[in-house]
Amino acid sequence: MHFLIQMDKKEINRWINIFLIVWIVILLIVISYVLINLKSSMENYNRNNHVSYYYEKASIFQGDYYIQSIADKCIDSNDKVSCVFYNTKLNYTNHFSAIKNPTELAESGFKGVCRDIATFRFSVLRELNVSCELYLIPNKHLYVVAFENNKSYRIDNNYVEYII
């Protein structure tokens, strides 16, 4: 208080203005940081809830060593859908990171979530020229439906079934 008594009003006002400017700058930085993170979170949310994102990822994965190695195992099979499924058994984990690329997924022993294995299997099936689609239940689940030998198959995390 003694310090303030020795200062005149102009100097006190100057220090108050400096203090306010510093707080405003800090507040603007914090608000900018929050808005940028919010925008990034929303982009990730929107991206992961549109099937086109997974089609894009799957097309990037095509030609990958691990995709090709599974395709090579199944190329002569009469039931490519089942062959792909049985050569890519998912070890489900609750670790929800970014989508795993084929190398990460294969080298982890196929530990992942539905989006990881679905895009992997989809890429292999496309490599084998098997007609297939990705099906997305937003915020819930991604799986593959494949069409081979006049049959439709649902290829899910841990099962493959003939659907019609």
Q: Which pLDDT score is estimated for 123? A: 94
The answer to whether the pTM exceeds 0.75 is no
Q: What pLDDT band is residue 154 in, cutting at 50, 70 and 90?
A: very high
Cα–Cα nearest to 122, from 53, 49, 43, 48: 53
Alpha-carbon gap, residue 47 to 120, rounded angstroms = 18
Q: What is the distance in angstroms between the CA of the first residue and the CA of the last residue of the chain?
A: 85
DSSP state, 7?
Answer: S
Alpha-carbon gap, residue 118 to 144, rounded angstroms = 6
b vs e for 140-160, b when ≥16 Cβ sit within 10 Å of the residue's Cβ?
eebbbbbebeeebbbbbbeeb
Alpha-carbon gap, residue 152 to 128, rounded angstroms = 16
Alpha-carbon gap, residue 10 to 117, rounded angstroms = 69
Q: Which pLDDT score is estimated for 46? A: 47
The answer to whether the CB of 12 falls within 8 A of the CB of 1 is no
Alpha-carbon gap, residue 142 to 57, rounded angstroms = 13
**In this structure, what token pair is assigned to residue 114?**
């539905």
Q: Which pLDDT score is estimated for 96? A: 66
pLDDT tens track for 88-141 = 988 888 766 778 889 988 888 888 888 889 999 999 999 999 999 998 887 788
Alpha-carbon gap, residue 71 to 92, rounded angstroms = 22
Phi, psi angle pair for 79, to nearest 5°: -130, 80
Q: To the nearest whole percent, how much of the chain has pLDDT over 90?
A: 35
Angle of the 114-127 helix axis to the 51-61 helix axis, nearest 10? 50
